[in-house]
Amino acid sequence: MGVGSFALIFQILYALGATGLGLYGLHALWLTLCLHRPARFPLPAPSPGDLSAIDLPAVTVQLPIYNERHVVVRLLDACARFDYPPDRLQIQLLDDSTDQTTSLIQRHVEEWQRRGVNVALVHRDAREGYKAGALRDGLASATGEFIAIFDADFEPPADFLARTIPHFLGEGRAGIGFVQARWGHLNQNYSVLTNCQALALDGHFVVEQTARQAAGYPFGFNGSGGVWRRACIEDPAVGGWQADTLCEDLDLSYRAQLAGWQPLFLPDLVAPAEIPPQLLAFKRQQFRWAKGSVQTLKKLGSAVWRSGWSLPARLAGLFHLGNYLIHPLLLFLLLITPLLLLLGVDPFGPLAWLSLASVGPPLLYAVAQRRLSRRLWLRRWAYLPVLTLLGMGLCLNNTLAVWQAFANRPGPFLRTPKFRVEDRADSWRGSSYALALDPVVLGEALLALYALGSVWLAAAQGKWWSLPFLLLYAAGFGLMVGMGVGQSLRLRGRRRRQTARFRAADLVKTQGR
């Protein structure tokens, strides 16, 4: 096989990769355009003021926690203050903790019990099935007809149940399986990193979830800030909570819709949550979401394709489940670019088409922020360049997650640490939950050098139009390395100073004796 044949093969592979990225960009553009469609559920929203005229059903609020001593009290306090009849409200703290979280929350549970709140601590010694297992086991003692779920980092408003439960009730609503609220942010302005994550999450909820609902496409339960109809979870055709993926929420919601249950998204109801302030915590969260969504794609992809949904709905569902496949595509394009350059091929041709489709994500984020605030939208959207670099820099981290999913590599449910960081005066570095630097940073450093080498090669050959794309890779991986190492060094310094203070205090005590 000659050089020309190799060049042709690499050109075809590169064009396919660029086409894949272009399709994701066009999908984002399509969802943005779908926002103008009429709502999928034209039924008028029930008014919370009419609750006195409704025979409200029993609700169980499930709070799955694992080593969450910083935030669990805030979560329980918020749920205990729900504006809902106390005799129809049950709160379950589904606790798998192995640290002092259990003793801390036990005292707080007893205090709320003395105030007349029906709250119970359900502790498991074995973390079987992780979050899905905790939710499944909790149903055995749940008394509610509806199940509200909140992760540990949430602080739902007092009227959350009053604004969600009525959507399940009344004529024409018996088929609604779950209601999902929009996530808000308790610490959006804490740092550049949290602002970037807020921008991404707003794009998902304000545009993607709203557009999927308006177009009649399937969409997912986001794992927290929502309510399930218990009959939907326990429907034999649905199959209940299952722990064979790391995205048990996405898995269950798609199985429910495949079985005929309907979802409902409420973009005007906000459930605030804490955004990870540590880059390594954010990367761990992304890894779990990437691996879990691809596991769900493998598990349910064929069922989605064979379903009775319309062709656009089936395609939208597959794009949704395979959303994280964009990262292996991005990594592949970087790895193959210098090979093309060495073979004398200009990779800009496919990139030109990609640039046309790349307008989709920026427009999606702009529309999301414009809908949220006409006054602040431009200031918030200005974080898009940094978010773009984060997306490029996550290529390796999320590609490893996708590879583990396709290779059926088992792995534990690694929680995202929460620190109760709500304003800039708060710090997460003193917490034992803060994560140490992982070996992936070495691969990211090597990829940053690889991208810089590709930049030099493209410049040497006069392939100037390829430089911006390659520089994005270099900057993205450089950001991952710089921010990750920087945060880790400050964390080590903080812990070293704490250790020194503890030793000094012990020395003073010893001398005092």
How far is the C-alpha of 129 from the C-alpha of 44, rounded, in Å?
39
d(C-alpha 71, C-alpha 273), whole Å = 10
Dist. CA 282–CA 438, nearest whole Å? 13
User: Which sign does the torsion angle of CA 292, 295, 299, 305 carry?
Assistant: positive
The catalytic residue among 95, 153, 202, 249 is: 249
CA-CA-CA-CA torsion sign (140, 143, 146, 148): negative
As a whole number of angstroms, the distance between CA 513 and CA 509 comes to 7
Coil/strand/helix, residue 88: helix
Q: Which residues lie closer than 8 Å to 431 by C-beta, 6 or more apart?
A: 70, 417, 419
Q: Residue 91: exposed, middle, or buried by beta-carbon count in 10 A (0-12, 13-18, 19+)?
A: buried
| Cα separation, 238 vs 218, whole angstroms | 15
* Active-site entry in 95, 96, 151, 251: 96
HSE-up (13 A, CA, CB side) for residue 67: 13
- 506 is a catalytic site residue: no
Distances (CA, A) of 190 to 69, 121, 147, 273, 421: 21, 32, 32, 13, 8
Are 263 and 213 a contacting pair, CB within 8 Å?
A: yes
The three-class DSSP label of residue 178 is: strand
Strands 89-95 and 59-65: parallel
DSSP character string of 465-488: GGHHHHHHHHHHHHHHHHHHHHHH
Residues shown for the chain: 513
The amino acid at residue 382 is: A
* Cβ contact 72:101 at 8 Å: yes
99 is catalytic: no
How many CB atoms are located within 10 Å of the residue 267 CB? 16
Residue 55's SS3 state is coil
207, 368 Cβ separation under 8 angstroms = yes
Specify burial of residue 13 (Cβ count, 10 A radius: 0-12, 13-18, 19+).
middle
For residue 154, the 8-state DSSP code is B
Give the span between the Cα atoms of 433 and 416, in whole angstroms: 9
Q: Looking at the annotation, which residues are catalytic?
A: 96, 249
